[in-house]
Structure 1
Amino acid sequence: MIDGLSRKTIDGETGLATQGEPVYGEPTEDGWRLWDRSRSKLAVLLDRDVETGLDDDSTVLYLGAASGTTVSHVADVAGPTYAVEFAPRPTRDLLDVAADRPNLFPLLKDAREPETYAHVVEPVDVIVQDVAIRGQADVALTNKQFLRDDGRLVLSVKARSEDVTRDPESVFEDVRQRLEDGYEIEYAESLDPFHDDHLGIVATPE
């Protein structure tokens, strides 16, 4: 188990938990906060014991941080965590989350344009990507420049964001093939039942 990450039962719910200030109304007890799998794709993978590369000294680039639900847990257990979010409204919430986490650095930027934050982000051990737009594999490939040679990409692919008219399995296959232009896929499984039509991928840079 990652340092700072534990399995707890809080308010009758059992799951992974981190230590930190609460963010989204999650159950808490003695400084621990449950990591809700239904609101976090990364939590599903960690609960399955998938090797994500996340550790207590990991440097992380989080793409698609939104209001900070998942990235707050990441910052609870990891080292420097760079949180990229495109929309101003959730970024304001993200700033509040970062106020209690000195290792969390919000960036109001577009993950499709890594050149706009390349001067800020250092080489990272893990890229966590949860960006619900078309071209999710392209985002992962353009941000590969930040990933260390022995780092890992942890990608959540939302089929409906790629093409709402196509069968999700066909979408997932296209994304996997595109990713292979720069990554070797180590893990690729559905995130059901917690996240419909989502594929969780862990990959290493080639």
Structure 2
Amino acid sequence: MTNPALPDGVERREIDGELRLATRGEPVYGEPTADGWRAWDPRRSKLGGMIELGFDTGLAGGETVLYLGAASGTTVSHVADFAGSTYAVEFAPRPVRDLLDAASSRDRLFPLLKDARRPQTYAHVVEADVDVIVQDVATRGQATVAVRNAQFLADDGRLLLAIKARSEDVTADPDDVFDDALDRLRDAYEVLETRRLGRFHEDHLGVVATPK
């Protein structure tokens, strides 16, 4: 199977003698750089892992993005390097301070100190019909978070979700956790693609979905 094309603004560049996924922007987390390009480490980014594994993310560059679980900005900073308006939701104040630093050189990145489980608290900020929701939250009920935020997604938009089995139940079989989460997701989404991210992230399932 041929891997999907990379989005505009994402390239494979030689950095430190290795061909790496990269975006163009100011460094954020100590990643190696070359000629203005910054390496996008798939071992530190679920979305980066999905792209490296050839998921059909639908990303072309320039999309409006709602990012749930932005943390200190490792992945969302790469997204904001090539996307359009990027709303970054994170509920913990400490990582938001780092996220604000990442946003200082990215005028399309908008940090929001909010809880992704309560989308009504930021509905007045996020523009309607975003093109993409990227979700990477370490909490129980990850599929429920995605369903609650489906209201923001355009009819032809994409959900790019990483489900963390250990965040749901550390004692359960990950396959059972993933099956339960996918059943819940189908309340609001048509699931297009699923695959384990084990090459980069153990006990994680990558999901691509679109609204019903």
After TM superposition, the score normalised by the length of structure 1 is 0.98
Per-residue deviation, 1:56: 2.0
TM-score, normalized by length of structure 2?
0.95
Residue number among 67, 78, 100 corresponding to 1:62 in the alignment = 67
Identity score, percent: 68
Gaps of 5+ in 2: 1-5
* Whole-angstrom CA distance in 2 between matches of 1:73 and 1:158: 21
Structure 1 ranges of 4+ moved more than 6 A:
none
> Counterpart of 1:126?
132
| Separation in 2, partners of 1:2, 1:129 | 18
**Structure 2 partner of 1:33:** 38
- Residue of structure 2 equivalent to 1:152: 158
Give the paired residue count.
Answer: 206
- Say if 1:184 and 1:205, in contact at 8 Å, map to a contact too: yes
User: CA offset at residue 48 of structure 1?
Assistant: 2.6
Answer yes or no: is the 8 Å Cα contact 1:53–1:125 preserved in 2.
no
Cα deviation 1:158-181 (Å, max 9, x = unaligned)? 000000110111100100111111
Which residue of structure 1 aligns with residue 116 of structure 2?
A: 111
Instruction: List runs of 5+ in structure 1 lacking aligned partners.
Output: none
The one-letter code matched in structure 2 to 1:200 is G
Q: CA deviation at 1:157?
A: 0.3
d(CA) in 2 for partners of 1:29 and 1:57?
23
Q: Give the superposition deviation at 1:30.
A: 0.2
Find the counterpart in structure 2 of residue 99 from structure 1. Answer: 104
- What do residues 12-61 of structure 1 show as CA deviations (whole Å, max 9, x unaligned)? 23221000000011110000011000000101111233221323220000
Q: In structure 1, what is the equivalent of residue 169 of structure 2?
A: 163
Distance in 2, matches of 1:124 and 1:64, equals 16
Q: How does 1:56-95 map to 2 (within 5 A)?
A: 56-95=61-100
The residue that corresponds to 1:194 in the other structure is: 200
Residue 3 of structure 2 aligns with which residue?
A: none
